């Protein structure tokens, strides 16, 4: 039995706190590491265009739906579906979410560890005086190392667990309110440097002039997956966060604001990176190493470069930390509320088990590079399965649940705060969750996985 009913739940204090906490979850490596590398591999502007389509027509409806489910029930995802649909299998979405959280943490925290390595290398002075080939070599050498990626992964996992453990999350939020705007300023400085490099225009063309012939099933599926990943949707993170949102907040406008900021940061990261790629002679299709190779190059080309590089990598690590906290929270809230476990015990068990998988993932470009399934190593497999399959599948069921199963009155009450707002957007929202979003996701699945051919 769920024990959550009698528990006094935390809640975010006010408008800015909601948007800040959800944006803290959404903005992270997904925007600054993953968006640029996928854009680089999937045709630039064409990818951006498809991505923007999904963000607006699928991302906003799914995020709003998660908020509705979370705030209406005041539960973790599993408990929320049990409460809204007793005796029906919808709670399986919650279970899949916990599994996805587990898998995402195992590779996301590895990349977060890479940012710590680069912070360290920057302080140690090793990022200066290197050309593109040397920086590429440095990245490859690092991820192939049998020890360092694992060490940094464990450090980062420990940090995440500590914060979840001690309940100082609110303290963290206080700092991130100052530090994240600082990261944004730093990104803008990087953009200015990048677009003023000689030969930068080709990078802007690459990012903003879509070559529609580059669009294919794989590009579309990747863009859909990235929109889910970047917005932290499809696995119940935002159901959990929604359960902490106060009754007088406007859910739909909070969701739109978060989606807009998240997307803006991704595009800014793109503007910081692609002009430099073309100006400094790198390759847009460098894969997961892209930002770690290109940005040090850019820093070398600006005054106080080492200082900026150091600041950048530590802020990026912090942005990642506010995301890993939110993913771990999904697992911990589930174990605490549904398995009746003490929060601290749940945190320890979750951390130890994620670490076991994470260590394997951390070594998957090095000693375990031979461990492959369908041509993908463990890291790539976790990334593909979660982002391209599990999150969109979760999102599909979430919109189907809101659009076709749940009593529309309940959704209406949540979205208008029991009639306090007019909710003129309600018919549009309903249309999106009933038809546009589910059809879009289902079509991308069938098409992207090669089940249908157009
Ligand atoms: N959105 C985060 C980022 O872009 C990562 C993340 C946090 C996430 N919580 C999530 C991804 C839940 C998917 C689901 O860095």
Q: Which of 152-161, 325-334, 346-355 has the lowest mean pLDDT?
A: 325-334
Give residue for tokens 């289902």.
442
Residues whose beta carbon lies within 6 Å of some atom of ligand 1: 25-26, 28-31, 104, 229-230, 232, 235, 237, 323, 326-327, 391
Q: In which region does residue 190 sit, left (phi positive, over 0), alpha (psi from -120 to 50) or beta (all else)? A: alpha
- Report residue 77 as tokens: 């995802």
Distance in angstroms (rounded) separating the CA atoms of residues 167 and 159: 12
Q: What is the pLDDT of residue 5?
A: 41
Please state, in angstroms and rounded to a whole number, the distance separating the CA atoms of residues 59 and 199.
35
Residue 163, Cα to own-chain centre: how many angstroms? Answer: 19
**Predicted TM-score (pTM) of this structure:** 0.94
Average pLDDT over residues 406-432: 95
Report how far residue 260's alpha carbon sits from residue 252's, in angstroms, rounded to the nearest whole number.
Answer: 12
C-alpha 300 – ligand 1 centre gap (Å): 30
Which pLDDT band, with edges at 50, 70 and 90, does 9 fall under?
Answer: low
Quick one: which atom of ligand 1 is closest to the CA of 262?
4
Please check whether residue 149 is in contact with residue 113, taking contact to mean a CB–CB distance below 8 angstroms: yes
Chain position carrying tokens 């996805």:
100
Query: Residue 346 C-alpha to ligand 1 middle, in angstroms?
Result: 21
With cut-offs at 50, 70 and 90, classify the pLDDT of residue 11: confident
The predicted structure's pLDDT at residue 7: 45
Tell me, in angstroms, the distance from the centre of ligand 1 to residue 218's CA.
21
The answer to whether the CB of 228 falls within 8 A of the CB of 55 is no
Q: Is the pLDDT of residue 283 over 90?
A: yes
**Minimum mean pLDDT among 24-38, 231-245, 440-454: which range?**
440-454
To which residue do tokens 């389509």 refer? 53
Q: How far apart are CA 282 and CA 101, in angstroms?
A: 33
Atom in ligand 1 nearest the alpha carbon of residue 29: 15
Predicted confidence band of residue 171 (pLDDT cuts 50, 70, 90): low
Average pLDDT over residues 158-173: 77
Q: For the chain, how are helix, strand and coil distributed in percent, rounded to 5?
A: 75, 0, 25
Residue from 108, 224, 328, 354 whose mutation best tests the ligand 1 pocket (most atoms within 8 A of CB): 108
pLDDT value, residue 447: 86
Give all domains of the chain, ordered by start, each with its CATH number.
15-448 (1.20.1740.10)
Q: What is the residue with the minimal CA distance to atom 14 of ligand 1?
A: 232
Helix (H, G, I), strand (E, B) or coil at 333: helix
Q: Which of 341, 337, 440 is nearest to 396 (CA)?
A: 440
Banded pLDDT at 19 (limits 50, 70, 90): confident
Phi-psi bin for 286: left (phi > 0), alpha (psi -120 to 50), beta?
alpha
The pair of structure tokens assigned to 190 is 């990087």
Distance of CA 311 to the CA centre of its chain: 22
Q: Given the structure tokens 């940012």, which residue do they identify?
A: 115
Q: Say how far apart CA 137 and CA 293 lie, in whole Å.
A: 9
Question: What is the 26 CA–ligand 1 centroid distance (Å)?
Answer: 5
Two structure tokens written together for 103: 């898998």
pLDDT number for residue 168: 57
CA 324 vs. chain centroid, Å, equals 9
Contact 277, 294 (CB under 8 A): yes
**Count of positions (residues) in the chain:** 454
Among positive and negative, which fits the CA dihedral 112, 189, 44, 283? negative
Question: Band of the pLDDT at 333, cuts 50, 70, 90?
Answer: confident
Backbone φ and ψ of 376, nearest 5°: -115, 135
Model confidence pLDDT, tens digit, residues 96-149: 999 999 999 999 999 999 999 999 999 999 999 999 999 999 999 999 999 999
> pLDDT digit string (tens) for 263-274?
999 999 999 999
Cα 251 to Cα 229: distance, rounded to the nearest angstrom: 20
Q: What is the overall mean pLDDT for the chain? A: 92
């Amino acid at each position: 039995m769920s024990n959550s009913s009698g528990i006094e739940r935390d809640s975010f204090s006010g408008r800015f706190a909601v948007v800040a906490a959800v944006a803290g979850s959404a903005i992270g490596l997904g925007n600054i590491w993953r968006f640029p590398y996928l854009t680089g591999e999937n045709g630039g502007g064409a990818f951006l265009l498809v991505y923007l389509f999904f963000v607006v027509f699928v991302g906003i409806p799914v995020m709003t739906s998660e908020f509705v489910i979370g705030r209406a029930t005041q539960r973790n995802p599993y408990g929320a579906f049990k409460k809204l649909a007793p005796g029906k299998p919808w709670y399986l979405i919650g279970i899949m979410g916990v599994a996805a959280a587990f898998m995402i943490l195992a590779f996301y925290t590895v990349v977060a560890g890479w940012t710590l390595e680069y912070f360290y290398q920057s302080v140690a002075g090793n990022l200066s005086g290197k050309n593109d080939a040397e920086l590429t070599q440095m990245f490859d050498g690092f991820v192939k190392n049998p020890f360092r990626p694992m060490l940094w992964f464990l450090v980062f996992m420990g940090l995440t667990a500590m914060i979840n453990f001690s309940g100082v999350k609110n303290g963290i939020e206080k700092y991130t309110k100052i530090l994240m705007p600082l990261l944004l300023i730093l990104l803008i400085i990087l953009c200015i440097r990048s677009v003023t490099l000689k030969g930068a225009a080709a990078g802007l063309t690459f990012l903003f002039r879509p070559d529609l012939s580059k669009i294919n099933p794989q590009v579309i599926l990747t863009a859909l997956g990235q929109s889910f990943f970047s917005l932290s949707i499809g696995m119940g993170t935002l159901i959990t966060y929604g359960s902490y949102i106060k009754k007088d907040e406007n859910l739909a406008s909070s969701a739109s604001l978060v989606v807009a900021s998240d997307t803006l940061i991704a595009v800014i990261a793109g503007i910081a990176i692609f002009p430099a790629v073309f100006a400094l002679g790198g390759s847009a299709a460098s894969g997961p190493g892209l930002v770690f190779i290109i940005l040090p190059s850019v820093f070398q080309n600006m005054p106080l470069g080492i200082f900026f590089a150091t600041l950048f990598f530590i802020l990026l690590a912090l942005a990642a930390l506010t995301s890993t906290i939110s993913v771990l929270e999904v697992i911990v809230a589930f174990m605490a509320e549904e398995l009746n476990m003490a929060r601290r015990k749940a945190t320890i068990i979750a951390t130890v088990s994620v670490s076991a998988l994470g260590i394997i993932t951390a070594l998957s470009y090095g000693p375990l590079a031979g461990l492959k399934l369908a041509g993908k190593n463990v890291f790539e497999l976790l990334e593909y399965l979660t982002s391209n399959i599990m999150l969109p599948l979760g999102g599909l069921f979430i919109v189907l649940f809101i659009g076709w199963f749940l009593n529309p009155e309940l959704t209406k009450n949540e979205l208008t705060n029991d009639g306090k707002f007019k909710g003129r957007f309600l018919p549009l929202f309903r249309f999106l969750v009933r038809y546009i979003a589910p059809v879009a996701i289902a079509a991308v699945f069938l098409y992207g996985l090669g089940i249908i051919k157009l």
